[in-house]
Amino acid sequence: QMQLVQSGAEMRKPGASVKISCKASGYSFTDYFMHWMRQAPGQEFEWMGWSNPLSGGAEYSRKFQGRVTLTTDTSITTAYMELTSLTYDDTAIYYCAASRGGGRSLSGFDPWGQGSLVAVSS
Amino acid sequence: DIQMTQSPSSLSASVGDRVTISCRASQKITTYLNWYQQTPGKAPRLLIYGASTLQSGVPSRFSGSGSGTDFTLTISSLQPEDSATYFCQQSYINPRTFGQGTKLEVK
């Protein structure tokens, strides 16, 4: 079955960068967009953007534009999310999730990775 | 950005009850609306997509309805394992946005 397995928890200092991986299995990696979300403690989910393994393209939320880079490596069916210039407000659980569409789409996010905690602390 | 507002923010119901959760979009999104279930420490699970289509493997007691700006998730006969937080999410336009969640307790 379709499965996404993310890398483990990370702790970073303010100003640092973090890169999270998301390993896909059980489906054709290039048939689905990979979206990234985060959920800070007690907050709503925030959508960060998507990467397209087929084209290599990506789209980013305006909020994260310039700080986030979404990439994929089709040879190892893995997607990556790198976030730079971290602040305390970036402390959250980060999720990858697959979807048939990147723009307007009747497809939801399924499956999701298990989440990766990023803690920003001095 | 499209704002998604859920109500109620929490509710408590008994096994066998019929439960409804509402989600309102700040602008029309036709049927580009998805529902998710999340239990503590777990990733969200897709329940409904396209406002009313049941995801494969999801029990038939879950159903979704609505179009435009107003949507509803219904659980027809509540089970103990339905204790969770439920989120709506629009896929009409980027950035994709989520409701704040409805925490459901099964008594």
A103: confidence class by pLDDT, cuts 50, 70, 90: confident
Which positions in chain B touch A104 (Cβ < 8 Å)?
Answer: 32, 91-93
The model's pLDDT over B46-98, given as tens digits with 9 standing for 90+, comes to: 999 999 999 999 999 999 999 999 999 999 999 999 999 999 999 999 999 99
- Is A45 at the interface with chain B, CB within 8 A? yes
Contact between residue A92 and residue A108 where contact means Cβ atoms under 8 Å apart: no
Nearest CB to A106: which of B32, B44, B89?
Answer: B32
Determine the Cα–Cα distance for residues A94 and A89; give it in Å rounded to an integer: 13
- Is A27 at the interface with chain B, CB within 8 A? no
Average pLDDT over residues A19-41: 97
Mark yes or no for CB contact B87/A45 under 8 Å: yes
A75 to chain B, closest Cα gap in Å:
26
Which positions in chain B touch A63 (Cβ < 8 Å)?
Answer: 95
Q: Please give the pLDDT value at position A42.
A: 87
Percent of chain B clearing pLDDT 90 (strictly above): 96
Determine the Cα–Cα distance for residues B34 and B53; give it in Å rounded to an integer: 9
| Angle (nearest 5°) at CA B53 between B19 and B29 | 90
Centre a 10 Å sphere on the Cβ of residue A19 and count the other Cβ atoms it contains. 13
Average pLDDT over residues B34-54: 95
Q: In this structure, is the dihedral angle defined by the CA atoms of residues A48, A49, A53 and A56, taken in order, positive or negative?
A: negative
- Please, which residues have CB within 8 angstroms of residue B48's CB and are 6 or more apart in sequence? A108, B34, B35, B54, B55, B58, B62, B63, B64, B73
Q: Please give the pLDDT value at position B19.
A: 98
- DSSP codes of every residue in A58-80: EEE-TTTTTTEEEEEEGGGTEEE
Nearest CA in chain A to B34: A108
Beta bridge partner(s), residue A72: A79
- Whose tokens are 């029309």? That residue is B28
Q: How far is CA B2 from CA A101, B5, B8, B27, B98, in A?
A: 18, 10, 19, 7, 9
Contact between residue B51 and residue B31 where contact means Cβ atoms under 8 Å apart: yes
Mark yes or no for CB contact B32/A104 under 8 Å: yes
A104: confidence class by pLDDT, cuts 50, 70, 90: confident
Residue A1 has pLDDT above 90, yes or no: yes
